């Protein structure tokens, strides 16, 4: 992700590297002494994203800060909520991590950046802590692997995971004569429904699919990869350990994207490229029944809960959720993508024990349950996923959890952020009509091959 992660202007650097507040947490089950040593700094900083409609992270950190400071007299936690869209958050965090004086002790880390951030020297391994932490056994095997680096060490503890599917407005479907128990079997079924909506409800956005650099990684995951992994192809071949730079699946995925934008079934390109577009969708357009179908993540319902940015009591009555079908209905019939976020200890932390104590408090059972239910996360702690409070927290919880059986994960190697950036640029080229699909993909192949090296690139 060269352009996003390494080329932020000096003005943004100045803003980012300003005062960094901090936060701390109690260490139930941490296996540590629970406080900073006498010669260690008495302040730890915690950096995380605060953006748009997603407010639960800030509330969670504020709560944990209070708990931690109460349990650790003399230690202060400074919270640094970074108000930025996803791509700019990554860039600002990257800039902070370059300098010991601004590098956070605890950071909110996207799973796909773990290996690139390990290579950059930003993350500290946590194996010495997890080996003594009784709670670690409550995390599923896949959850324990979420923050694992290529070297086999653990670099982050998951806060929860997610899946993706198609939200659809049952009231709009009924008006358009479409079934309110809609379960598309192929991509053509999605196109048919969107075309019907456009014809019968012209003031409604038929289909939202994230595309281009405005939505950043959301475009890659909710957009391109939700299509690609429903074909017979993927982005990375595990057997040969090579990146797939050209395939029928890539061609068909970008052709589908071109179709929905060319036919006016998707947002206008200028809207889709706005970094605030996702916030507008979740807080304005979807609740006001201005969107018929939205390909999005399980966390979206957190916006509409009582403590969300846009409380909407009837969201589960108005909306339905359908699994994203495979391209032609081939087995297993559905597809999804999963990611998630971690809490990690910064490699430059002067007090890694205190940073770990904060993480173990933030992600103990009580706090994980509170966060996962509020933020509509799929629980990765076994004792949380079986808790009645979690199971009853969201009418769509079971639907999204059931999609785990169909889910895929990004190839989270150190080159992935730059490959993702190339995907977003190619999407932008296609959706805006700058080049036909074949030309856009020819450039994509050249770009990715240059990023990963010819020996690590292949075609399918």
pLDDT in tens, 389-417: 999 999 999 999 999 999 999 998 999 99
| Confidence check: pLDDT of 241 > 90 | yes
pLDDT of residue 55: 81
Confidence band for 262, pLDDT divided at 50, 70 and 90: very high
| Confidence check: pLDDT of 281 > 90 | yes
What is the domain partition of the chain in residue ranges?
2-161+340-400, 164-338
Q: In what order do the strands lie in the sheet with 407-409?
A: 324-325, 334-338, 407-409
**In the chain, what percentage of residues exceed pLDDT 90?**
87
User: Among 352, 311, 374, 435, which residue's Cα sits nearest to residue 160?
Assistant: 374
Q: 164-338: which CATH architecture?
A: 3-Layer(aba) Sandwich (3.40)
pLDDT in tens, 145-154: 999 999 999 9
Asked if residue 206 lies in contact with residue 168, where contact means CB atoms within 8 angstroms, the answer is no
In whole angstroms, what is the distance from residue 204 CA to residue 189 CA?
18
Residue 272 CA from chain centroid, whole number: 18
Distance, first Cα to last Cα, the chain: 24
pLDDT in tens, 316-356: 999 999 999 999 999 999 999 999 999 999 999 999 999 99
Burial class of 14 by CB neighbour count within 10 A (0 to 12, 13 to 18, 19+) = exposed
pLDDT in tens, 267-280: 999 999 999 999 99
φ, ψ of residue 159 in degrees (nearest 5): -90, -20
Name which of 27-36, 156-165, 447-456 the model is least confident about: 27-36
Confidence band for 298, pLDDT divided at 50, 70 and 90: very high
How far from 135 is each of 46, 300, 314, 335, 382, CA to CA, in Å?
22, 28, 36, 31, 10
In whole angstroms, what is the distance from residue 407 CA to residue 337 CA?
5
- Within this chain, domains 2-161+340-400 and 164-338 share the same CATH topology: yes
> Per-residue pLDDT averaged across 234-261, rounded?
97
Cβ neighbour number for residue 92 with a 10 Å cutoff: 22
CATH number given to 2-161+340-400: 3.40.190.10
Asked if residue 419 lies in contact with residue 220, where contact means CB atoms within 8 angstroms, the answer is no
What crossing angle do the helices spanning 352-362 and 56-71 adopt, rounded to 10°? 120
What value does the mean pLDDT of the chain take? 91
pLDDT of residue 87: 83
pLDDT in tens, 213-240: 999 999 999 999 999 999 999 999 999 9
| Confidence check: pLDDT of 30 > 50 | no
> Per-residue pLDDT averaged across 367-371, rounded?
97
Q: Taking CA 157 as the corner, what is the angle to CA 155 and CA 158, rounded to the nearest 5 degrees?
A: 125
pLDDT of residue 159: 96
In whole angstroms, what is the distance from residue 276 CA to residue 458 CA?
36
pLDDT of residue 11: 35
Q: Is the dihedral of CA 362, 367, 371, 372 positive or negative?
A: positive
pLDDT in tens, 133-148: 999 999 999 899 999 9
């Amino acid at each position: 992700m060269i352009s996003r992660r390494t080329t932020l202007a000096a003005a943004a650097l100045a803003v980012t590297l300003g005062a960094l507040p901090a936060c701390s947490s109690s260490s139930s089950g941490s296996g540590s002494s629970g406080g900073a040593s006498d010669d260690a700094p008495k302040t730890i900083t915690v950096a995380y994203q605060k953006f748009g409609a997603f407010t639960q992270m800030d509330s969670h950190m504020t709560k944990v800060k209070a708990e931690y400071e109460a349990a650790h007299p003399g230690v202060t936690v400074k919270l640094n909520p970074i108000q930025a869209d996803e791509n700019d958050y990554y860039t600002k965090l990257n800039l902070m991590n370059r300098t010991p004086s601004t590098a956070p002790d605890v950071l909110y880390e996207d799973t796909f950046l773990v290996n690139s951030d390990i290579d950059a020297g930003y993350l500290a391994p946590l194996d010495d802590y997890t080996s003594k932490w009784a709670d670690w056994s409550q995390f599923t095997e896949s959850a324990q692997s979420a923050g694992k680096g290529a070297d086999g060490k653990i670099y982050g503890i998951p806060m929860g995971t997610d899946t993706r599917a198609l939200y659809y407005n049952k009231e709009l479907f009924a008006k358009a004569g479409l079934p309110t128990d809609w379960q598309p079997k192929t991509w053509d079924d999605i196109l048919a429904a969107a075309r019907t909506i456009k014809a019968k409800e012209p003031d409604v956005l038929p289909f939202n699919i994230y595309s281009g650099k405005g939505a950043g990684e959301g475009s890659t995951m909710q957009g391109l990869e939700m299509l690609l992994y429903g074909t017979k192809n993927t982005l990375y071949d595990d057997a040969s350990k090579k990146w797939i730079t050209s395939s029928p699946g890539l061609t068909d995925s970008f052709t589908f994207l071109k179709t929905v934008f060319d036919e006016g079934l998707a947002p206008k390109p200028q809207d889709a490229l706005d970094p605030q577009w996702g916030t507008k969708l979740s807080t304005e357009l979807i609740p006001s029944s201005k969107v018929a179908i939205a390909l999005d993540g399980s966390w979206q319902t957190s916006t509409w809960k009582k403590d969300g940015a846009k409380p909407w009591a009837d969201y589960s009555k108005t909306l339905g959720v359908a699994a994203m079908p495979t391209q032609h209905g081939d087995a297993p019939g559905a597809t999804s993508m999963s990611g998630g976020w971690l809490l990690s200890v910064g490699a430059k932390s002067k007090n890694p024990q205190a940073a770990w104590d904060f993480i173990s408090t933030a992600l103990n059972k009580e706090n994980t349950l509170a966060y996962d239910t509020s933020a509509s996360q799929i629980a990765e702690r076994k004792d949380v996923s079986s808790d009645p409070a979690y199971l009853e927290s969201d009418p769509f919880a079971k639907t999204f959890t059931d999609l785990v059986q169909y889910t895929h994960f990004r190839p989270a190697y150190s080159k992935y952020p730059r490959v993702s950036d190339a995907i977003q640029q190619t999407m932008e080229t296609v959706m805006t009509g700058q080049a036909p699909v074949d030309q856009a993909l020819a450039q994509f192949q050249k770009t990715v091959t240059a990023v990963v090296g010819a020996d690590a690139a292949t075609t399918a």
